[in-house]
Structure 1
Amino acid sequence: MDKVIRLADVAKAAGVSQGTASNVFNRPRLVRPEVRERVEAIAASLGYRGPDPKGRLLRAGKVNALGIVTAEPLSYFFEDPFARLMMAAISKACDERGAGIALVSAMNEQKLAWNVQSALVDGFILFCIDEGPRLVELTRERQLPFVALHLGTRDEGIAAIGVDNFAGAKAAADHLASLGHRRFAILSMPFADDRTGPATMREVDAAIYSSSRDRVLGYFAALAEHGIDTAAVPIFETQNEEADVEKAMAWLFTAPSPPTALLAMSDRIAFAALEWLQQRGLSVPEDVSVIGFDGVPESAFSEPPLTTIAQPIAAMGQLAVEMILDTPEETGRRQFSTELMVRGSTAPPKP
């Protein structure tokens, strides 16, 4: 293998001290021009590529950057409306501090340890750590602050930020039931990885993604208060993808008594449901009412504008950055409230 050329090799070949050679690359104004030119020429002839920035940053003890870790494909940050808004808030907070961002993939288990251990960051923001003890273990090994954008973990030692999913979902179902709807269906986010289709309460109770489970429980709590038999409410599990929603809609609306109200666990799911209904000549909200969950900006401009449960996404992203870069010693769990945003996609059912 070719020998790695180091700064000491350059200094020896140029007949200068290692400190002088270091100044040539890091503080050139401190070195006489003729010495600087000689050292640079010898470095080029030896194939020296310059000092390793990682070493300098690690010696400084702070790199002014944070890592965003997710087990989702990295395209998730650009395709999902919730993730895009969260990243916009995180980016804005980092811009205000002149800090950088590194996206760290946790999809590949074999490369996970390397990705986390080699990231040049001052701390990590973890997206959804349900069933992610290995990820938490690795971030703890780095001895850097980290915060989870999720409250699902039972580990009280993990700094976490999230919303009250149960209360938000309960408000959504209460809104539709108060309008007079009695035939409901739930378009859910995942309860487990790589699974779609009709789901039972056994699968809901065993969910590895607690936000999905808590939203079902919130929906059912409100429906039960309105005297609706929750055992008759169909649940279709999706992976938050349009293709899954299309399958769910086809399954629901070929039933003898299709729903008049859809409880979608994300705005992205709700948008796909709106499009499916419109393509088949079903009017929203006259034939079917649809409510989402997230409150992304696009929800105000859909056709019709989407009634949704809004999360304070920007405030959550801002707080996550503050906890890593401003007050890294802080721990604890921060729970935000949600807000019902009533728009044009919900109305009383037809008489």
Structure 2
Amino acid sequence: MTRPVRLADVAREAGVSHGTASNVFSRPEIVRDEVRERVFAAASKLGYAGPDPKGRLLRAGKVNAIGVATAEPLSYFFDDPFARTVMSGISQECDATGAGISLVSAANKEQLAWNIQSALVDGFIVFCVEGGSRLVELTRERKLPFVTLDFAEHDDTVATIGVDDVAGAGMAARHLAELGHRRFAVLALPTIETGYGPTTLERAQNAIYSGTRDRIRGYFEVLATHGIDVKAVPIYETENDEASTRAGMEHLFASPEPPTAILAMSDRMAMAALDWLRERGIEVPGEVSVIGFDGVPESAVSTPPLTTIAQPIVEIGRRAVQTILGFDGTIRRETLDVELIVRGSTAPPPSGS
């Protein structure tokens, strides 16, 4: 046959009605054994695998699946500790409600647009890590419910769930300043889409990513109140990965007066910094204190355990699913609380520092 095999072809081959053939695949318990066997034999002969579930779901007006979208490569969902933990919350809530998950990502903008447009889902959870505005634009075009994670742009038509990055960063800076530290350095999230290296305060303050802008603001507003000359605090822009963080640590500790306190904008960077310091015999927190931001599970078992600003990451994922599945037309913008968790990676600076 030159066209796809249809259920009507199977029914004709088996000598049964279309309704009976349909019941064999959808409600087999109500069909006699010998009829079921005849229909299955006909299906096997014709190469028919069964009804296309997309058709049934679309006719019902709901597919019971949520798209989780990012402009990052698909590996982001598995490699990044924050993304993995959010996905844990998303999957827990989906398991509880019987909903499925479709991961939507792309290495280029054209492919991303196609993936968003073709995803068979009831709505989207959008990771606004990179290309947030473009993602919002694409998901809005689908005219399905969507919620963004940490989309800080002021747009009351966009539902979002996030945290107060300014307040959280302020907690981190205050903790270290009150311990007595005076020599700080910042391992920053990206300011632009690509590249890493030493950067300026002005560039960080004008980053295209809200997380970078808000966390630098939170750090430096608090440090300034403690008499720190923030213009003299070195900022190293990373790609939030191990390689660029290690390059940042090499740069920062090549200084004649290296920092005694590292403000890392993510736990992923902070844990890479801990590894770098340990490999060089630099004691943490004896010589250098390190504080992260996120509160991923791995931070509790790093060496030493990482002091961090903890977001309710799992709860963010759960609420995002609830927003999609329970969408009633109301656009909600939620800001959840963060918490300072003090562990073994921070202490007063060495005497004389």
TM-score by length of 1: 0.93
Q: Higher mean Cα deviation, 210-219 or 152-161?
A: 152-161
1:338 maps to what in 2? 338
1:114 maps to what in 2? 114
Q: Is the 8 A contact 2:285 2:346 kept in 1?
A: yes
1:26-78 per-position Cα deviation (integer Å, ceiling 9, x unaligned):
22344455544444333332222221011011112222221111122222222
2:236 maps to what in 1? 236
Q: How does 1:77-88 map to 2 (within 5 A)?
A: 77-88=77-88
Instruction: State the Cα distance separating 1:3 from its structure 2 match.
Output: 2.0
2:145 maps to what in 1? 145
Q: Higher mean Cα deviation, 13-22 or 81-90?
A: 13-22
Instruction: State the Cα distance separating 1:264 from its structure 2 match.
Output: 0.4
Q: How does 1:17-32 map to 2 (within 5 A)?
A: 17-32=17-32
2:95 maps to what in 1? 95
Q: Higher mean Cα deviation, 76-85 or 156-165?
A: 76-85
Secondary structure, aligned partner of 2:87 = helix
Instruction: State the Cα distance separating 1:227 from its structure 2 match.
Output: 1.4
Q: 1:341 to 1:26 in 2, by over 3 A?
A: same
Could you tell me how far apart the structure 2 residues matched to 1:294 and 1:85 are? Answer: 10
2:258 maps to what in 1? 258
Secondary structure, aligned partner of 2:334 = strand
Could you tell me how far apart the structure 1 residues matched to 2:158 and 2:129 are? Answer: 10
Letter in 2 for 1:289: S
Structure 1: which 5+ residue stretches go unaligned?
Answer: none
> Do structure 1's residue 177 and structure 2's residue 177 form an aligned pair?
yes
2:189 maps to what in 1? 189
Instruction: State the Cα distance separating 1:192 from its structure 2 match.
Output: 1.5
Q: Is the 8 A contact 2:267 2:293 kept in 1?
A: yes
1:218 maps to what in 2? 218
Q: 1:196 to 1:202 in 2, by over 3 A?
A: same
Instruction: State the Cα distance separating 1:328 from its structure 2 match.
Output: 4.7
Q: Is the 8 A contact 1:129 1:148 kept in 2?
A: no
> Do structure 1's residue 66 and structure 2's residue 69 form an aligned pair?
no
Instruction: State the Cα distance separating 1:89 from its structure 2 match.
Output: 1.4
TM-score by length of 2: 0.93
Q: 1:36 to 1:314 in 2, by over 3 A?
A: closer
Q: Higher mean Cα deviation, 64-73 or 3-12?
A: 3-12
> Do structure 1's residue 296 and structure 2's residue 286 form an aligned pair?
no
Instruction: State the Cα distance separating 1:234 from its structure 2 match.
Output: 0.7
Letter in 1 for 2:311: Q
Could you tell me how far apart the structure 1 residues matched to 2:232 and 2:222 are? Answer: 14
